[in-house]
Amino acid sequence: MAATDLERFSNEEKRNLSLGGHVGFDSLPDQLVSKSVTQGFSFNILCVGETGIGKSTLMNTLFNTTFETEEASHYESAVRLRPRTYDLQESNVHLKLTIVDAVGFGDQINKDESYRPIVEYIDTQFENYLQEELKIRRSLFDYHDTRIHVCLYFITPTGHSLKSLDLVTMKKLDSKVNIIPIIAKADTISKSELHKFKIKIMSELVSNGVQIYQFPTDDEAVAEINSVMNAHLPFAVVGSTEEVKVGNKLVRARQYPWGVVQVENESHCDFVKLREMLIRVNMEDLREQTHTRHYELYRRCKLEEMGFKDTDPDSQPFSLQETYETKRKEFLGELQRKEEEMRQMFVNKVKETEAELKEKERELHEKFEHLKRIHQEEKRKVEEKRKELEEEMNAFNRRKVAVETLQSQSLQATSQQPLKKDKDKKNFFSLPSAYSITTGRYVN
């Protein structure tokens, strides 16, 4: 097809045609439903709230079952996230439900870092999904999506105001997850106090710029109920799995000496509103918002951080391939620069070591020469001494010969004159008996 034809074709307006009879693509929504039902759904709830605020009880009440629970201690050194996944089934719909508890939240003396493990957990789930998406062989169809779809933030029913921990944590989370604030244990606060408390909480959230999840009002079918429910936030809830007989009906309630608080009675608390909004009306919107808003933001930031862009500096479209090539070139250039730097560093180091070695060699040579001179001097002295001693030895030997000659002569004379005087004898025996090398004389 020529370029002009192509242009004309793409510029052509779409025309509405009527069908001659039933074709069958009106079954597409049914096909989608059937496919989704077969595939099953996943829904992940994060519960953030102080230890013992009623998180597990509310989850049990919401899903009308008993999830495994474990009381948290108040002595956790830091907040830790504990996910638990359950397979639930209602009619023919399978739900893979993950409940993540922020264990130890609000128990540390220093709460500055309390939000961090929660943010890290949410990011890790996004990262896992992104890694799966970036794989060559992706299996998103049966991938267990662990991204958090909603964060139920449990507010302590003080009747005063939000704690700074609540504000800081919600602020840190609001761009990452759909937050639904709820006032827990609402049976412990009076009706008028609760009314004021709700207004106070909402004004504090607004003044601190905390974005909570708003039930969507763009779909006509749910716009009305959702906008009414938005005005009821935060929901004040009561949780209980205990059944109490009211009239002739068994209802879930909390029984007190002065009366019974019915969980599903809308004039007692907002539990029904929460269940309606969270599960029956907006569960799919929560899943969608997670994917299109929060995950999209994470993905965009992450890819930008990695250097990927949609446009080049001249605002021209820039494909992933081009970005990859540019990045690759940048990387190779950097690698080459580093290699050159290392090589230069190595050459310098070798030169330095060579100079050091030469200096050491010179020093050693000097030392050797010095020792050699000393040695020669010593040798010369020893030689002189040896000569002196030899001379002395010769002199001694000469004298010794002379003495021996003298002795033999005197012995001969004595044998001829046997009767010699004592004086002569004495003289003979008083001949020198030792020769001193140092003085060069004979001593007695």
Which stretches of the chain bind Mg ion, using CB under 5 A? 55-56, 69
Distance of CA 24 to the CA centre of its chain: 54
Whole-number minimum distance, CB 66 to ligand GTP, in Å?
A: 11
Q: Whose Cβ is closer to ligand GTP: residue 182's or residue 226's?
A: 182
Whole-number minimum distance, CB 197 to ligand GTP, in Å?
A: 15
Are the C-beta atoms of residues 432 and 406 closer than 8 Å to each other?
no
- Could you tell which of ligand GTP, Mg ion, none binds residue 53, using a CB distance below 5 to 8 A set by kind? ligand GTP
Question: Is 68 an interacting residue with respect to ligand GTP (CB under 6 A)?
Answer: no
- Could you tell which of ligand GTP, Mg ion, none binds residue 185, using a CB distance below 5 to 8 A set by kind? ligand GTP
Whole-number minimum distance, CB 76 to Mg ion, in Å?
A: 13
Q: Whose Cβ is closer to Mg ion: residue 69's or residue 211's?
A: 69
**Contacting ligand GTP (CB under 6 A), which of 42, 51, 156, 262?**
51
- Could you tell which of ligand GTP, Mg ion, none binds residue 146, using a CB distance below 5 to 8 A set by kind? none
Question: Is 273 an interacting residue with respect to ligand GTP (CB under 6 A)?
Answer: no
Question: Is 142 an interacting residue with respect to ligand GTP (CB under 6 A)?
Answer: no
If we measure between CA atoms, which residue out of 233, 220, 212 comes closest to residue 277? 233
Residues 151-210 that bind ligand GTP (CB under 6 A): 185, 187-188
What separation in angstroms does the CA of 199 have from each of 106, 112, 194, 306?
24, 27, 9, 43
Residues 91-120 that bind ligand GTP (CB under 6 A): 101
Q: Whose Cβ is closer to ligand GTP: residue 51's or residue 289's?
A: 51
If we measure between CA atoms, which residue out of 144, 112, 135, 139 comes closest to residue 44? 144
3-state secondary structure of 289: helix
Question: Is 236 an interacting residue with respect to ligand GTP (CB under 6 A)?
Answer: no
- Could you tell which of ligand GTP, Mg ion, none binds residue 277, using a CB distance below 5 to 8 A set by kind? none
Contact region with ligand GTP (CB under 6 A), list: 49-57, 125-133, 172-180, 198-206: 49-57
Whole-number minimum distance, CB 106 to ligand GTP, in Å?
A: 9
Are the C-beta atoms of residues 273 and 182 closer than 8 Å to each other?
no
**Count of beta carbons in the 10 Å neighbourhood of residue 62:** 20
The upper half-sphere exposure of residue 380, i.e. CA atoms within 13 Å in the direction of its Cβ, equals 6
Whole-number minimum distance, CB 60 to Mg ion, in Å?
A: 10
Q: Whose Cβ is closer to Mg ion: residue 51's or residue 282's?
A: 51
Question: Rounded to 5 degrees, what angle do the CA atoms 182, 188, 192 make?
Answer: 80
Residue by residue, DSSP assigns 304-353 as: HHTT--SB-TTS-B--HHHHHHHHHHHHHHHHHHHHHHHHHHHHHHHHHH
**Contacting ligand GTP (CB under 6 A), which of 55, 147, 273, 287?**
55
If we measure between CA atoms, which residue out of 272, 274, 300, 298 comes closest to residue 286? 274
If we measure between CA atoms, which residue out of 123, 3, 99 comes closest to residue 48? 99
The footprint of ligand GTP (CB under 6 A) covers 51-57, 71-72, 101, 185, 187-188, 238-239, 254
